[in-house]
A and B are shown apart, each in its own frame.
Chain A
Amino acid sequence: MKPATIRFDDSTVRYPDSDRDAVGGVSFEVGGGELVVLLGPSGCGKSTLLRTVNRLVPLRCGRVLVDGVDVAQLDPVELRRGIGYVIQAIGLFANMTVAANVGVVPSLLGWSPGEITARVDELLRLVDLDPTEYRTRRPSALSGGEAQRIGVARAIAARPRALLMDEPFGAVDVVVRTALQRELVRIVAELRTTTLFVTHDVDEAFRLADRIVVMRDGRVEQAGEPFELFERPATPYVRELVHAGDDVYRRYFARGRELVRAR
Chain B
Amino acid sequence: MSYLVSHPGRVAALAGGHLELVAVALAVALIFALPLGIVAARRPRLAPWVLGTLGAVYTIPSLALLAVLVQLFGLGFTPILVALAVYAQFMLARNVVAGIAGVDPAQVDAAHGLGMSPAQVLLRVEFPQALPVLIGGMRVAVIAMIAIATLGGYVGGVGLGVLIFNGLTLHQPQMIVAGSAVACALAVALDAALRLAERLVR
Interface residues, chain A, with chain B CB atoms under 8 Å away:
51, 54, 56, 77-82, 85, 87, 89-95, 104-105, 108, 151, 154-155, 164
Asked if B111 and A87 make an inter-chain contact with CB atoms under 8 angstroms apart, the answer reads no
Q: Chain B residues near A54 (CB, 8 Å)?
A: 113
Q: Could you name 5 residue pairs across A and B whose Cβ atoms are closer than 8 Å?
A: A79-B115, A90-B106, A90-B110, A105-B114, A105-B115
Q: How far is the CB of B68 from chain A (nearest CB, A)?
A: 42
CB neighbours of B106 from chain A (8 A): 87, 89-91
> B196 within 8 Å of A by Cβ?
no
How many B residues have CB within 8 A of the partner chain? 19
B125 at the interface (CB under 8 A from A): yes
Most buried by A among B109, B113, B117: B113
Q: Tell me the bound Cα distance from A108 to B117 in angstroms.
A: 10
Task: Kindly list 15 other residue pairs between chains A and B, CB separation below 8 angstroms, not including A77-B117, A78-B115, A155-B114.
Answer: A56-B109, A77-B116, A80-B113, A80-B115, A85-B114, A89-B105, A89-B106, A90-B110, A91-B106, A93-B107, A94-B129, A95-B125, A108-B116, A108-B120, A154-B114
Interface string of B118-138 (1 = CB under 8 A from A): 001000110011000000000
Q: Are A87 and B109 in contact (CB under 8 A)?
A: yes
Question: Is the CB–CB distance between B109 and A91 below 8 Å?
Answer: yes
The residues of B that contact A90 with a CB separation of less than 8 Å are 106, 110
Could you tell me if A81 and B104 are in contact, using CB atoms closer than 8 angstroms? no
Chain A residues positioned under 8 Å from B107 (CB to CB): 91-94
**B104 contacts which chain A residues (CB < 8 A)?**
89, 91, 94
A108 to B120, CA, bound (A): 9
B111 touches A93 (CB 8 A): yes
Q: Which of A51, A78, A89, A104 contacts B114 (CB under 8 A)?
A: A104
Chain B residues lying within 8 Å of A108, measured Cβ to Cβ, are: 114-116, 120
Q: Per a CB cutoff under 8 Å, which of B110, B120, B124 touches A91? A: B110
Instruction: Please give the distance in Å from A150's CB to the nearest CB on chain B.
Output: 11
Given contacts A85-B110, A108-B120, whether A93 and B125 have CB atoms under 8 Å apart is yes
Chain B residues closer than 8 Å to A82, beta-carbon distance: 115
Alpha-carbon separation in the docked complex, A155 to B128 (Å) = 22
Q: Is the CB of A87 within 8 A of B110?
A: yes
Please determine whether B113 and A56 come into contact, CB atoms closer than 8 angstroms: yes
Q: Which residues of B contact A94 (CB under 8 A)?
A: 104, 107, 129
Most chain A CB inside 10 Å of its own CB: which residue of B107, B113, B114: B114
- Residues of chain A with a CB closer than 8 A to B114's CB: 80-81, 85, 104-105, 108, 154-155
Q: Which single residue of chain A is at the shortest CB-CB distance from B127?
A: A95
Who on chain B is nearest to A90 by CB?
B106
Residue of chain A at shortest CB distance from B126: A95
Residues of B with C-beta under 8 A to A56: 109, 112-113
Q: Which residues of B contact A92 (CB under 8 A)?
A: 107, 110
Known: A80-B113, A87-B109, A105-B115. A95 touches B120 (CB 8 A): no
Chain B residues within an 8 Å CB radius of A151:
110
Contact of A77 among B109, B110, B115, B125 (CB under 8 A): B115
Query: Which residue of chain A has the shortest Cβ distance to B129 in the bound complex?
Result: A95
Closest chain B residue, CB of each to CB of A79: B115
Residues B132-169 near A (CB distance < 8 A)? none
CB of A85 within 8 A of CB of B113, answer yes
Instruction: Give the distance in Å from the alpha carbon of A93 to the alpha carbon of B117 in the complex.
Output: 15
**Chain A residues near B117 (CB-CB < 8 A):** 77
Instruction: Tell me the minimal C-beta distance from B119 to chain A in angstroms.
Output: 10
* A95–B115 touching, CB < 8 Å: no
Most chain B CB within 10 A, of A56, A78, A94, A105, is at: A94
In the assembled complex, the CB of A81 is this many whole angstroms from the nearest CB of chain B, namely: 3
Q: What chain B residues lie within 8 Å of A81 (beta carbons)?
A: 114-115
Instruction: Give the shortest distance, in Å, between A111 (CB) and chain B (any CB).
Output: 13
User: In the complex, what residues of A have CB within 8 A of residue B110's CB?
Assistant: 85, 87, 90-93, 151
Q: Cβ of B112: which chain A residues have Cβ within 8 Å of it?
A: 56, 80
A82 to B114, CA, bound (A): 8
When chains A and B are docked, how far (Å) is the Cα of A179 from the Cα of B158? 68
B23 to chain A, nearest CB (A): 27
Cβ-closest chain B residue relative to A94? B129
How far is B116's CA from A91's CA once the two chains are assembled, in angstroms? Answer: 14
Bound: A90/B114 CA distance, A: 12
Q: Which 8 A-B pairs have the closest CB atoms?
A: A91-B110, A81-B115, A89-B106, A91-B106, A85-B113, A80-B115, A95-B128, A91-B107
